[in-house]
A and B are shown apart, each in its own frame.
Chain A
């Protein structure tokens, strides 16, 4: 019990004193996950719009596959990306394995299905007359997409926030693709796994608290967004 209390005390000291190692890991984590979320948004939102507002054969099947991929295990995504970017893989020449860029790619692929699915759900709440109104006002396809996204901005933003939450909290793909290299690809989740196995509880707890704080911030933002969307 004392170990846990000591661990918490030291962890808080590490955070309050802005311990360089803790801050560096936290910043890298944020950088990788924010970049992955942003890039995933650029793919997922237009794709979600396209899937929802266009009729094509197999549309229902595509949506079912996307929904199935919500819960894909992160290690499977890690394995897929590993096969893709390892030296013998089709993208091996890019040298992305064990780099932050490779981790960004893995996190993107992890969150894109969920973000597409949630975006489709957001668009399904748009009254068809709203889309017709925007079209009749002389919007081009792109202008129409932007205007419709503005109509459901809170729901789309919620999809982005949830995507970020999934990206920052995953450990399997980050470990497999990043390799948990100190000062280069080590992020909060991989670091917690490593430090705990090494018995360095204060550092693990400190990193865990930071991860928890980020989760708390995400929840608060989501609540605010959901409240605004109801008013």
Chain B
């Protein structure tokens, strides 16, 4: 288990990481997501004890890391780290993978068998004698993973391991990460700015923005119930709009958005400034004054004018001007049936429970 408490790192006047508190249980894939330059790499480097924190503590399996070089080496030898840039040393794949074992004094048959096992794990059997710098980026990154895994680390740190790779290589690396976690029970901490990757690989996710963990939770929580508008925008939620609670009763509130009233399920109190987000696929479109509000379970039906329609895979993303921009996902068939086109008046309906309310 890794327990991080009050971790900060400051270089000069710049605060790179500020007051990070996280606990990562054994065997978990923990995702650290955030925009570029948000402090993910600094956090990963501190966990691998490559950089010292300015303040705070890191406890790895019960041992609190200190600045003692010998203790740091002992703890670091329980971990493996793969960096964003695929790095291989100027020698063969076999020799590359051997480094960590040689540093630990492993020799002879054991050395050879463990290297071949690690190379096989990453699917590079037959590449043993290849000169590593001539491999592709994806292959180099797999060599880097084999090189880290050969020492059987308790914790594997992956710092944006697929950032420089093509989609096919990215998929292979992701499969490998899952396989390592399920086969060996290795605790994996992966930083990424690829939201999809974070969402479908990690068991839990921490969102790092401006050096701080702004939210930590399951992918479902982070991607569907972000705590604030900044996280909502970062995780790619659409229709993030600010407003004020004008009425609140029995867990239902009326929120004024640019003069338009929206009903939402929330415990926010009257007068509170809030942000809402509505998933575009939770909204239905109807022609003109299509349906009466009391004839549908949707508590919100608002009028708007279509401003833009853009193709989004098999769907169409329709933007309405309702006094504020509102994005709606509809099928191509609906576009044809309803005659959706710029300038047309439409009615957008959605349930109060589809409105996610966040603190301002």
Interface residues of A, Cβ cutoff 8 Å to B? 127, 129-130, 132-141, 143, 147, 150-151
Report yes or no: A137 in contact with B83, Cβ–Cβ below 8 A.
no
**Chain B residue with Cβ nearest A141:** B69
**Assuming A136-B80, A138-B73, what are 8 further A-B pairs, CB within 8 angstroms?**
A129-B83, A129-B87, A132-B83, A134-B99, A137-B100, A138-B77, A143-B103, A150-B89
Which residues from chain A contact B148 at a C-beta distance below 8 Å?
Answer: 136-137
Give the distance in Å from the alpha carbon of A143 to the alpha carbon of B148 in the complex.
Answer: 17
What string of 1s and 0s marks CB contacts (under 8 Å) between B303-339 and chain A?
0000000000000000000000000000000000000
Report yes or no: B87 in contact with A135, Cβ–Cβ below 8 A.
no
Within 8 A of A (CB), among B140-181: 144, 147-148, 151
A200 to chain B, nearest CB (A): 50
A230 to chain B, nearest CB (A): 12
Which residues from chain A contact B81 at a C-beta distance below 8 Å?
Answer: 132-133, 136
B183 contacts partner chain A, Cβ-Cβ < 8 Å = no
Which residues from chain B contact A150 at a C-beta distance below 8 Å?
Answer: 89-91
B76 contacts partner chain A, Cβ-Cβ < 8 Å = yes
A66 to chain B, nearest CB (A): 26
B48 contacts partner chain A, Cβ-Cβ < 8 Å = yes
Report yes or no: B90 in contact with A137, Cβ–Cβ below 8 A.
no
Give the distance in Å from the alpha carbon of A106 to the alpha carbon of B45 in the complex.
Answer: 45
A151 to chain B, nearest CB (A): 6
Which residues from chain B contact A137 at a C-beta distance below 8 Å?
Answer: 80, 99-100, 103, 147-148, 151
**Chain B residue with Cβ nearest A153:** B90
B104 contacts partner chain A, Cβ-Cβ < 8 Å = yes
**Chain B residue with Cβ nearest A143:** B103
What string of 1s and 0s marks CB contacts (under 8 Å) between B98-127 and chain A?
011001100000000000000000000000
Which residues from chain A contact B356 at a C-beta distance below 8 Å?
Answer: none
Q: Binding site of A, secondary structure by majority: helix, strand, loop or mixed?
A: helix
Most interface-central of A132, A134, A140, A147 (chain B CB within 10 A): A132
Interface residues of B, Cβ cutoff 8 Å to A? 45, 48, 50, 69, 73, 76-77, 79-81, 83, 85, 87, 89-91, 99-100, 103-104, 144, 147-148, 151
**Chain B residue with Cβ nearest A144:** B103
The 4 A-B residue pairs whose C-beta atoms are closest, nearest first, are: A138-B77, A136-B81, A137-B100, A138-B103
A174 to chain B, nearest CB (A): 38
Report yes or no: B48 in contact with A136, Cβ–Cβ below 8 A.
yes
Most interface-central of B76, B91, B103 (chain A CB within 10 A): B103
A127 to chain B, nearest CB (A): 7
Report yes or no: A130 in contact with B89, Cβ–Cβ below 8 A.
yes
Report yes or no: B85 in contact with A138, Cβ–Cβ below 8 A.
no
**Chain A residue with Cβ nearest B76:** A138
Give the distance in Å from the alpha carbon of A143 to the alpha carbon of B77 in the complex.
Answer: 14
Identify A130's interface contact among B80, B87, B103, CB under 8 A.
B87
**Chain B residue with Cβ nearest A137:** B100
The answer to whether residues A138 and B83 also contact, given A130-B89, A132-B50, A151-B90 and a CB cut-off of 8 A, is no
Report yes or no: A129 in contact with B104, Cβ–Cβ below 8 A.
no
A25 to chain B, nearest CB (A): 40
Report yes or no: A147 in contact with B99, Cβ–Cβ below 8 A.
yes
Report yes or no: A136 in contact with B50, Cβ–Cβ below 8 A.
yes
Give the distance in Å from the alpha carbon of A90 to the alpha carbon of B247 in the complex.
Answer: 93
Report yes or no: A139 in contact with B83, Cβ–Cβ below 8 A.
no
Give the distance in Å from the alpha carbon of A135 to the alpha carbon of B79 in the complex.
Answer: 11
What are 21 A-B interface contacts by the 8 Å CB criterion? A127-B85, A129-B83, A129-B87, A130-B87, A130-B89, A132-B45, A132-B50, A132-B81, A132-B83, A133-B87, A135-B50, A136-B79, A137-B99, A137-B147, A137-B148, A138-B76, A139-B103, A140-B73, A140-B103, A141-B69, A147-B89
B291 to chain A, nearest CB (A): 59
Report yes or no: B76 in contact with A136, Cβ–Cβ below 8 A.
yes
Report yes or no: B80 in contact with A129, Cβ–Cβ below 8 A.
no
Give the distance in Å from the alpha carbon of A147 to the alpha carbon of B103 in the complex.
Answer: 10
Give the distance in Å from the alpha carbon of A95 to the alpha carbon of B76 in the complex.
Answer: 50
Most interface-central of A134, A135, A136, A151 (chain B CB within 10 A): A136
Which residues from chain A contact B80 at a C-beta distance below 8 Å?
Answer: 136-137
